[in-house]
Amino acid sequence: MLSIHDLHVSVGGTPILKGLTLELPAGQVHAVMGPNGAGKSTLSYALGGRPGYEVTAGSVTLDGQDLLAMDVDERAAAGLFLGFQYPVAIPGVSNLHFIRAALNAQRKARGEAELSAADLMRRAREKAKLVELPAELLKRAVNDGFSGGEKKRNEIFQMAMIEPRLAILDETDSGLDIDALRVVAGGVNALRGPDRAMLVITHYQRLLDHIVPDVVHVLVDGRIVESGDKDLALRLEREGYESARTEAQREVRA
Amino acid sequence: MSLLDTLASAPPRQGALAPLGVEAAATLQELGLPMKKTEAWRFTSVRELVSADLAPAPLELAPTAAPPSGHDVVSFRGGHARFVAPGATTLVLGRLGDGAGSEHLRVGAAFAALNSALFADGVVARVTGAHESPLFFDYEGIAGHAAYPRALVVLEANAELTLVERFRGQSSLTSAVLEVVLGPGAKLTHLRTHEDEGALLGAVDVRQARDSVYASHVFSFGGAPARLDLGVHLEGEGAECRLDGVYVAAGATHLDHHVRVDHRAPRSRSAMRYRGLARERATAIFDGQSHVHPGAVGCEAHQQNRNLLVDPTATVHTKPHLEIHVDEVVASHGATVGALDEDALFYARSRGLPESEARALLTYAFLKELVDAVDGQGGSALRAAMRDALLSQLPGGEALGALEEELS
């Protein structure tokens, strides 16, 4: 579903991703792990199309379509969802209003009819329950005054409302205590399905106890240096990223 | 006719209002009307207005239709007022010319003084107890004549009122003066919308006794220029004012807000929050002044002005200013002029909103926060009306309004 080939991305003229290649088939969840500065957030922002993240080489396709040629909103309409590490507060717009605007825009772009208010409300109540998001937060302004855990649950709520083809979750576990982590992971697991793929980007292995990945990729210095099953995450937790890093250097020399 | 000729040919006032007219004429003869070099009028040129015919519109231009029944409405046209007696005993409407409340009238400065010299008659509203429904002052601006509407609103001790002022039409020159006197513990919620597309120069002067609360919500959408001089005098201990303003300046619109609070009593509190946007070739001005005078200990004075500058051809001037003469004060001020937050823009776009829709939504959100702050009698209906008025000023506003429908 998602094919990333030899992706190079620079930020402010500095190369961050240096030839990243990754295949993510439908129905699978892949984890991308790596030390600070490896390029994890750059990968998610580049896929999302954030201004300032300049793709200098390589290709990315989603269901065969050239993702990099699309505007940010076109990527969303094509099925991409980006879960933010730091969700943004928008005072003055209620959560419901915001998600309705987003859904309507996406449906319009795909030539589908708008959701009725009643359908929207029904779905919102159901999905809020999924991530234990209190109903009153639906009427509050987007992420305004939300706790760290509420913001992350709100991201998964939005994902559940949007039902994307591909979800990229950028450090969804950061800043969460163990209970919040379990709730967020539960929401993510409920959305796993044969037609959906997820890329879970994380620094720590503990998230992967709850969201068990099909494949773990190790990202070091802008490239995937190793891929394996979920046990790779456990090894990294035990041995740190140093061994992967050394392997990467060996590879470069060879 | 020039200023001096106009003053000389104005019919002399009789009775209780006579001294005010004499004093105002003397002030104007001495000081004249403001010019560009007058600091407070630096960014708003009134040269054309001053050189036009300043004679008040004749009485024939007074409102012909009686205001709608069922609401308390005072209609102003050409500066002349028409109203019917309110049904409730908590509100009494009368004529300033009959002498009621004339002891509260002040000459004022600049165009307010011109109003004091030339208004034909005015309205006085007196409130005792909590008046249940809003009182509306509707002003229709007319081309070809100058108009000098004048009103006085007096809230007795512990009285409560929501006052809604609406300026519409196409004034050649309207110089409107409203004076507000709040007794101890009184509470006034005051909405004021500027949608007159002509020249509107307004002065609002508020005097607050002990523990009174004044909540002002100004919405400026039109005017070439629209100028507001809002002055609040916190004279009694514990008096509080909250002064919110929203402005949207587009095209040839020129919106100028001068807001001043004088803390003259201990433990008085003030908060100014003005937000607006300027686009195309429009100009918006905010000048906020908070003065904490000697003896006014334990005060709180806050000022905030935030601006969105949408086009490089638009102009924003902002000047927050605090002057504090006591030690024990909590004060803050800040002003920003800028573009929409890039992080929020990317966030909204990543959820599927095309850039233009994302910008419209964030712009609306930025201003709507102050609409949500509207409170008082009939608050939800007023918020809805203000929301619709705001949406009508914004590109893509109709679609944004539809999104909010039925979601509850």
Question: Has residue A253 got a pLDDT over 60?
Answer: no
Task: Spell B129-152 as b/e; 16+ CB within 10 A means b.
Answer: bebebbbbbbbbbbeebbbbbbbb
How far, in Å, CA of B352 to CA of B347, rounded?
9
Total beta-carbon pairs less than 8 A apart between chain A and chain B: 100
Residues of B in contact with A98 (CB under 8 A): 348, 351, 361
At residue A254, the pLDDT reads: 46
* CA of B285 vs chain A CAs: smallest distance (Å): 23
- Please indicate whether, in this complex, the C-beta atoms of A93 and B346 are within 8 angstroms of each other: no
How far, in Å, CA of A252 to CA of B111, rounded?
79
- Please indicate whether, in this complex, the C-beta atoms of B362 and A141 are within 8 angstroms of each other: no
Question: Has residue A16 got a pLDDT over 90?
Answer: yes
Q: Which two tokens stand for residue B253?
A: 């619109």
At residue B272, the pLDDT reads: 98
pLDDT tens per residue, range A178-237: 888 888 889 889 999 999 999 999 988 888 889 999 999 999 999 999 999 988 888 888
Q: Which conformational region is residue A87 in: left (phi greater than 0), alpha (psi within -120 to 50 degrees), or beta?
A: beta
pLDDT tens per residue, range B300-342: 999 999 999 989 999 999 999 999 999 889 999 999 999 999 9
Question: Has residue B3 got a pLDDT over 50?
Answer: yes
**Residue B403 pLDDT grade (very low, low, confident, very high; cuts 50, 70, 90):** confident
Give the three-class secondary structure for B272. Answer: strand
How far, in Å, CA of B177 to CA of B119, rounded?
10
At residue B157, the pLDDT reads: 98
Q: Would you say B217 and B242 are in contact if contact means Cβ atoms under 8 Å apart?
A: no
DSSP B67: P
Mean pLDDT across B247-262: 97
Element (H, E) at B288: strand B283-292
At residue A157, the pLDDT reads: 95
Residues of A in contact with B349 (CB under 8 A): 71-73, 76
Domain ranges of chain A: 2-253
pLDDT tens per residue, range A102-142: 999 999 999 999 888 999 999 999 999 988 898 889 999 99
Which has the minimum average pLDDT: A141-145, A203-207, B177-181, B220-224? A203-207
Q: Note the pTM of the prediction, 2 decimals.
A: 0.90
Q: Which two tokens stand for residue B137?
A: 């002052």
Selected for mutation to probe chain B from A53, A72, A157 (highest B CB count within 10 Å) is A72
How far, in Å, CA of B358 to CA of B347, rounded?
9
Give the three-class secondary structure for B390. Answer: helix
Tell me which residue in A84, A91, A105 faces B353 most closely, judged by beta carbons: A105
Mean pLDDT across B260-286: 97
Residues of chain B whose C-beta is under 8 A from some C-beta in A?
341-344, 346-355, 357-358, 361-362, 364-369, 372, 400, 403-407
Mean pLDDT across B156-163: 97
Mean pLDDT across B201-211: 98
Q: Which residue of A has its CA nearest to B347?
A: A88
At residue B96, the pLDDT reads: 94
pLDDT tens per residue, range B91-132: 999 999 898 899 999 999 999 999 999 998 899 999 999 999
Neighbouring C-beta atoms of residue B335, cutoff 10 Å: 17
At residue A97, the pLDDT reads: 92
Residues of A in contact with B355 (CB under 8 A): 71-73
Residues of A in contact with B400 (CB under 8 A): 101
At residue A234, the pLDDT reads: 85
Whether A212 has its CB under 8 Å from any CB of chain B: the answer is no
Question: Has residue B408 got a pLDDT over 80?
Answer: no
Q: B331 vs A242, which has greater pLDDT?
A: B331
Mean pLDDT across B29-35: 85
**Residue B406 pLDDT grade (very low, low, confident, very high; cuts 50, 70, 90):** low
CATH 3.40.50.300 fits A2-253, yes or no: yes
Selected for mutation to probe chain B from A44, A93, A103 (highest B CB count within 10 Å) is A93
Q: Which residue of A has its CA nearest to B343?
A: A88
Mean pLDDT across B343-347: 96
Q: Which residue of A has its CA nearest to B367?
A: A92
Selected for mutation to probe chain B from A88, A107, A157, A166 (highest B CB count within 10 Å) is A88
Amino acid residing at B287:
D
Task: Work out the angle between the directed axes of helices A178-190 and A117-130 (0-180°, nearest 10).
Answer: 130
Tell me which residue in A88, A90, A117 faces B407 most closely, judged by beta carbons: A117
How far, in Å, CA of A175 to CA of A152, rounded?
9
| ipTM of the complex as predicted | 0.95
Question: Has residue A252 got a pLDDT over 70?
Answer: no
Q: Which two tokens stand for residue B305?
A: 């002005």
